[in-house]
Structure 1
């Protein structure tokens, strides 16, 4: 019999699915999937409000529309899982998906809500890469969601609310709070988890009063509370994009631009920042090259007593995703490396001495990867762990065999391991055909344990021991058998100390 659950808007009918096998013996039991449930609606550039009620039982058996977006630029389009499901105006993307092993209010299972990444301009929660059936298989109710992206979600426009994509995420979390018990979830045990822009979104939600109390735990993968635009920088971005489109920098003018013009212009904007990263032109976006980000007056780390358990971390060689496939790794010069160190606020002589001393024979491109990985991802993760006592820190270190092994432990390489879907073909271009299941077992198990109990299985981080779990620490790109994980104390301390007072 097809499962039916009741929400405040009406009843929804899902389908039973058999998830991939886990570590336990035997065939896993079927789980129920409910796809494309509307959680909110919104006028163009407006605040989301709860979705309209419906009569009867609504089919929830297919993914709903995704946010309006342009494809990833080559060569990333071949490496990062992405899909687009059309469905009308941008606001129609406000839908979510639920996987549960036990529909009904009796189960009271932990809940995990996934916020996808994509530089605030790409990605969706409606893709096989983020199929939540593996979490449901292991006793967790998993939710994935879509939110507005790019101009619709994050461009600063006078007279309309900022951070509309974040407001969408809050609306989705409010829907989860109000409805998840019907799907077997415990509204008192909600963990929000995300990667890249998804993790950066969570980093902002941790400091937003409206998001307070909507989740008990948070997992931030390769993102923190450091990436945002102050209003003056946001206005520069708006003016540049409006000039490119030959329109006034107003909500009304942008609303009149068809997607066929707007989306290519969004993509071109990011390319222009990369080609000429001048702060006078782009403000803070000149450093991270993301024109669409949360708009804030200033960075705020969560209070020590924020009431949210944190698991945060990064990948060891994040920036290689942006250097190796584009062949920039070998093209980077020593002068570019020094200029980047200065832009980050580092003393270039000291920085190159520290990073180079730990990597004898490293090329400028390899040192650029290490330094940029720290600025973008590792140091923000450490700062979050430092800010909330009892937080847990991890590092993903398994090195992909792709591109002759040079892609390494790059940005987004951990996703298939977290979702325990390393055999999903959408991950193959990034992690190859034989990724180690042992690493997926360890990482997925830790995420499930943290959602259930707040303890992923190792010691919390503190300033004395600085304990971190390293996943795939002893893995070799071609290894058949790997050491799945192991703890370490104070990874690369000299490099960490370079950023004190700067990042």
Structure 2
């Protein structure tokens, strides 16, 4: 009898446990199916915000916090959580001294615990199980030492309202992201980006997104990151389209020897042996930022080095070569449709920020000599120094240096990359060269620019608030009616490309024109001004021909090598 009672008790407890389990599953299913602010990811349930036209999920962890013993380690997938995670507030940006301005810096501060992403999603009524929607992943720029996806500039409400899911990511910056020694690869920040893309692949369908229709987009250091993903095996099949805005090709990635030298300088400033990881992990974020600034001061005045002291590393494992070198050899691991472009006056921001006083002819010639060596006279012939009575410049060489820098670092390597991709097939596959759309952004906003040396010209990054339609909310710009339409049209080109791999197929307006891809026989680029134009600005260009000949910092020379296979 006693045994029978025990058996009955066991059966009763099992039934209760089974009911609880079924009830939990039903709750989870009910939340996912009926409540728009709840999404079930592979790691657990999350709660976001529902507004009139879209939903937002802030601060979703895609990796464990890279703190304590995980500092200077490759990212690790996050732990599964049991309760519904609150994703209604943005997380802090990665450790940095952000000088990009209010709209491009986080409003909630910094933290070493920063490997989170924000997801902007259309309302559920716009999504059906049979119609998964395209995805844009935004990799923020900032010279690999500042910047965040969690800022007003990248608010993706406009995209979400156009049936695009946008994922804004963060990654470790500066020494925390790219410290390289004999023991450390220096690619923690780049691997953070890869893990964020893996998170998208594993989880985006829970938001109604199409994991096979992912576009990656970056500007400046974000664009150099995108190009690095194009040539990295680690990123294979994680995206299907790419947008490259103002990539710093010529500045390039650091080699193992270069990053070790920079890391050695950093560790000596912070008071640690370069291989003493315990010492490096004991230092505060404030000490790390101070040492970073001290290392940057060593490069002050060296334009090709000061802008990107820290970068991903050609470590012969994660990244096998300089992107320009790999593209020179036709090695494109991810052979996807591309939008690639630049602004008209890329160099001004960098030259005037680093040289507050005018540059004399003598100093200018010395700088050209240091940058180009035996080829300096040919460069000076194309970019001559102004005389003391030369118009408004009055002997100041910053304007001509800005033009040279913009051409050498941005515009001409874009042209080189396009031409190489069009003339070579991918060596690792039998597929043809990717479809390429090229643009040049030439419009100076009527509201002006808060940066004095960008007023009236088209500085680096000028197109970003128009692409995202955040010119008012993030930058406090007041546009006229034509400019508002211009911003909407640029956003439509992006939405169409993200959706279809073709900027012309999809949303349109009467002010848009057909944006032809560049082919071997047609070199039309989209000139981005309020009345769009198509012009050939690639075929005939003596200055870019010169740089093609003398190479971009040696990356495209015949004797430049990739890592041994």
TM interval, shorter chain, is 0.7 to 0.9
Root-mean-square deviation over aligned CA pairs: 2.6
CA shift digits 1:183-215 (9 cap, x unpaired) = 111111000001111111111111111101000
The answer to which of 386-395 and 7-16 deviates more is 386-395
Distance in 1 (CA, whole Å) between partners of 2:352 and 2:169 is 30
Distance in 1 (CA, whole Å) between partners of 2:453 and 2:97 is 29
In structure 2, the partner of 1:23 is: none
Distance in 1 (CA, whole Å) between partners of 2:524 and 2:441 is 14
1:259 shift after superposition: 1.4
> Residues 67 and 84 of structure 1 are in contact (CA less than 8 Å); yes or no, is this contact kept in structure 2?
no
In structure 1, the partner of 2:104 is: 81
1:382 shift after superposition: 2.2
- Distance verdict in 2 for CA 1:463–1:340, change over 3 Å: farther
In structure 2, the partner of 1:460 is: 517
In structure 2, the partner of 1:410 is: 459
> Residues 105 and 185 of structure 1 are in contact (CA less than 8 Å); yes or no, is this contact kept in structure 2?
no
> Residues 224 and 381 of structure 1 are in contact (CA less than 8 Å); yes or no, is this contact kept in structure 2?
no
1:323 shift after superposition: 3.6
1:304 shift after superposition: 5.6
Structure 2 length normalisation: TM-score?
A: 0.76
1:308 shift after superposition: 1.3
In structure 2, the partner of 1:253 is: 279
In structure 2, the partner of 1:234 is: 259
Matches within 5 A, 1:37-116: 37-41=60-64, 42=66, 43-72=70-99, 77-78=100-101, 81-83=104-106, 85=108, 90=112, 92-103=113-124, 106=129, 107-116=131-140
CA shift digits 1:336-391 (9 cap, x unpaired) = 33333334437334333334599x95652111111101222222322332343321
> Residues 385 and 391 of structure 1 are in contact (CA less than 8 Å); yes or no, is this contact kept in structure 2?
yes
Matches within 5 A, 1:385-404: 385-388=418-421, 389=433, 390-400=435-445, 401-402=448-449, 403=452
Distance in 2 (CA, whole Å) between partners of 1:186 and 1:309 is 17
Structure 1 length normalisation: TM-score?
A: 0.85
Distance in 1 (CA, whole Å) between partners of 2:307 and 2:189 is 19
> Residues 307 and 350 of structure 2 are in contact (CA less than 8 Å); yes or no, is this contact kept in structure 1?
no
1:59 shift after superposition: 1.8
- Distance verdict in 2 for CA 1:45–1:376, change over 3 Å: same
Q: Does residue 314 of structure 1 match 2:348?
A: no
For structure 1, the 5+ residue unaligned runs are 19-29, 278-284, 473-481
> Residues 230 and 333 of structure 2 are in contact (CA less than 8 Å); yes or no, is this contact kept in structure 1?
no
In structure 1, the partner of 2:54 is: 31
> Residues 386 and 462 of structure 1 are in contact (CA less than 8 Å); yes or no, is this contact kept in structure 2?
no
In structure 1, the partner of 2:48 is: 14
> Residues 352 and 398 of structure 2 are in contact (CA less than 8 Å); yes or no, is this contact kept in structure 1?
no
Distance in 2 (CA, whole Å) between partners of 1:111 and 1:237 is 37
Query: Secondary structure at the residue paired with 1:268?
Result: helix
The answer to which of 77-86 and 216-225 deviates more is 77-86
- Distance verdict in 2 for CA 1:384–1:224, change over 3 Å: farther
In structure 1, the partner of 2:29 is: none
For structure 2, the 5+ residue unaligned runs are 1-34, 316-320, 422-432, 505-514, 553-565
1:167 shift after superposition: 0.4
CA shift digits 1:392-431 (9 cap, x unpaired) = 111111124333864611111111011111112x324xxx
In structure 1, the partner of 2:491 is: 444
CA shift digits 1:110-137 (9 cap, x unpaired) = 1000000111110111111111111111
Identify which of 475, 489, 493 aligns with 2:536: 489
Distance in 1 (CA, whole Å) between partners of 2:520 and 2:279 is 50
Distance in 2 (CA, whole Å) between partners of 1:324 and 1:493 is 26
Query: Secondary structure at the residue paired with 2:299?
Result: helix
> Residues 349 and 454 of structure 2 are in contact (CA less than 8 Å); yes or no, is this contact kept in structure 1?
no
Distance in 2 (CA, whole Å) between partners of 1:404 and 1:263 is 27
Distance in 1 (CA, whole Å) between partners of 2:89 and 2:79 is 19
Query: Secondary structure at the residue paired with 1:33?
Result: strand
- Distance verdict in 2 for CA 1:415–1:271, change over 3 Å: farther
Distance in 2 (CA, whole Å) between partners of 1:118 and 1:304 is 25
In structure 1, the partner of 2:546 is: 498
> Residues 269 and 294 of structure 2 are in contact (CA less than 8 Å); yes or no, is this contact kept in structure 1?
no
In structure 2, the partner of 1:477 is: none
- Distance verdict in 2 for CA 1:78–1:175, change over 3 Å: closer
Counting matched residue pairs gives 463
Q: Does residue 264 of structure 1 match 2:290?
A: yes
Distance in 1 (CA, whole Å) between partners of 2:492 and 2:295 is 40
Q: Does residue 175 of structure 1 match 2:196?
A: no
Identify which of 353, 376, 379 aligns with 1:351: 379
1:333 shift after superposition: 2.0
In structure 2, the partner of 1:21 is: none
Query: Secondary structure at the residue paired with 1:380?
Result: helix
Distance in 2 (CA, whole Å) between partners of 1:117 and 1:59 is 27
